[in-house]
Structure 1
Amino acid sequence: MGNTDKFNVYLDKVCEQVRARELHGELRMELANHLEELASEREAMGFGKEEAVKWALEQMGEPETVGRSLHHVHKPRMNWKLLAVVLLFGAIGLSGMLSLSAAKGNTGTNELYERLAYNHIHYLIMGIVLMLGLAFFDYRKLRRYSWALYTITLTGMTSVFLSDINIHGVKGWIFIAGFGINVIGLSPYTLLIALAGVWTPDWNLYTGAYRLKKRLALPMIVVPCLFYVFGRALAELVIFLAVSLMVYVWLNGGWRRSIIVVSGTVTAVLMYVWQVPVYRIGMMAAIDPDKVSRKASYLILNLRETMASAGWLGHGFGSLRDQLPYVYSEMLFPYLIYTFGYLAGLVLAGMIVWFIAQAVLAWRSIHDHYGKTLFAGIMLLLILPFVYELLMLTGYVFILDLPLPFLSYGGSHLLAEFAALGLLLSIYRRKDTLPRAANDSRVRSARAR
């Protein structure tokens, strides 16, 4: 048996222990290079070739032991910290809904919140099942459908804007088998998943096609924004635009150009918001409620009063402040503080910071370029609403119709958020099982093109 054959037999036995088959080529190359170096060093000391090969194999150790060690390093991993904090978010949101249910039950006015709490439990269970299912799904399969997903999302947005269906005067919903789906609310997630696949280069098929995709990057952001403007979907516009621009800047570098693009975009959004009367009045109310009518400043003033009257321990489970609307949605965080106190609010804020920190740490550990891009987009879609909700608690920020991720009531957004978290877990789970195909030099080269 030749020396190369001996090395191959050894490498075969090592790879038999490693279940991540996509890593076999990379592992074989690294181990083979190391074996060659050891054998060459031994030969340089005056030993024969066969003896040098034998010595090199002995230095490496038993192939089964080496293989099991490599398998332990490269096996799929669950991010238990992210999973745990999200489940805690779900439990806190449920406690808030149950408190609302108890409050309405005590007053005897209606059974609205009891029904919402009952539905919320079902949505939570469905969301958790969906999250766990997607955690074991191979996220890379989404990439081939990126253009199709982008097109389908725009088609869905067009159809809901042209339909006669609206909820509280707002279009954006479709109903399937009695279940309402907020197409506009889901669209930032599907669009960012699509953009991650379109914008990320395929290193094996790197041609002029990718340069064409880069030229289409900004138009692919602008087109959905026009839909959001047409449909007066300000919250979705702000979130999608902010996240897509951050991902675009990160992928493309070129900070001078990026600053120009971002500055121009922010200016355009502010001009749009200022020219729509209801948005302009809302901004003025956040800055100085006395400069607008009592009706226009009602929500801001009641938010401030709610926060001021909460106290460190709150008013207790089942309490309710009737003046504060939308307590099951964008006002759930203030309601939780009003009910359970400033201490509970600080704990929840700390959990949000912990979630953000764990998400960023997980993102930094990912080496697959497509996975890293997809993770960044989804992560930011979840983080920005948390940050904005924290800012809204001050009572000096324009109130957007943004549900608190994983906590607020709502079937579509809860399922979307848990599904998004499932994809994050899927990406993290495979971070050590994929070859590092996209190294830093390739990324820098792609950004420069």
Structure 2
Amino acid sequence: MQVTSSSTSTSSPVRLSAAFQRLAWSNLAAQSAEQISLAAAPLVAVFALGADARDTGLLQTAQTLPFLLLSLPLGVWADRRSRRTLMTLAESVRVFAMLCVLLLVIAHALTLPMLAALGFIAATGTVAYNVAAPSLVPSIVPREAFAVANGRLELARSVAYSAGPALGGLLVGWIGAGWAYGCAAALSALAVGLLAGLHEPSRALAPRRHFMLELRDGTRFVWRDALLRPMLATAVFFNLGFFILQAVYVPYAVHRLGLSASAVGVTLGAYGVGMVCGALAAPAIARRLAFGRMLIIGPSCGLLASLVMVATLVAPSFWLATASFFLLGVGPILWVVGSTTLRQAITPERMMGRVSALISTATYGARPVGALLGAAISARWSVDACLVAAAVAFLVQALIIFTSPAARLQRIPEPGAAAAC
């Protein structure tokens, strides 16, 4: 396989279009709205509705279920229709859901099932936006700027992940639960306004076929592509390992590491700090490293992070736990930037939405599986075994990408490059 594509180098700065700038600001507003509402939901459930741990778990399930159920059909829709229109409708749906929560809180009529149902509706908007946004980038950004553009979008996501939960909690405390949702609705409305002024270049739409045939074509494309297949497998095992760890970390940190609630929060916050640092560094790293080298940074950091966490079994330490979560944030953001860029570079325009949706479904689908594995392993053996199992999953994802042709890429490949493998 020839992996040294003749694509334009990213060594010289590239000016991103006004359309992309609108997309980037819309993305920041949308991601911030999502994180504020996600942070507010369990606080509303506990303090206003008297929910227990089981209730908040079911609420979390309702707010993540659309990623599993709707990513693929929405991906097909993104390939059939205007992606800007889909994103605008998605954010409008989220505005509606959050305004409904606000009104129900004001009327003292909110119930836990209503909160879960509206969370499901809002998450449906999130899924549609997340599927369509990466598919829109190649039509408004030159090929040589894919990595820079994706880095900009991931920076916005990182800032939202870092600041959104804290801001959501502060808003609930300062102005009340309902108005926290009102602020989130205002941010989503801003995202809608920015998208409304975005010009999406016209594209030739493929003739409509049966939904399952289109879905089969997208799945077959990913499975047969020698570059995308290991990228998908790497993401799945990373998320398995990460959510095995997430499932048991808080009780482990309290009972074994002896951390207070605030100290646990600091260690978890290091994840967001790492995401911001990685997103800020992504454009410079993309210019200085071979493309394949950039792809292996994220899985390497994931493996190192899991080993650092395992080290706390013999040397309990706040600083080791903090370093582990920082590594889990800083490296994988570079992975997201690189893997998204690769997907955009080699996927035909006509099936960009389906491919993005398939990878999103597999990635998010691994999360509840990882959490269930964490619960099962801790119940059958111990929390220690969970940390080791997470490290094994991280080792597998690192081995997959290290031995793949994607790790040997010198530059962003041309469309069809994997066909020569």
Which of the five TM-score ranges fits, normalised by the shorter chain? under 0.3
Larger radius of gyration: 1
The alignment's TM-score, normalised by the length of structure 1, stands at 0.26
Of structures 1 and 2, the one scoring higher in RCO (CA 8 A, sep 6+) is: 2
The structure with more helix, counted as a fraction of residues: 2
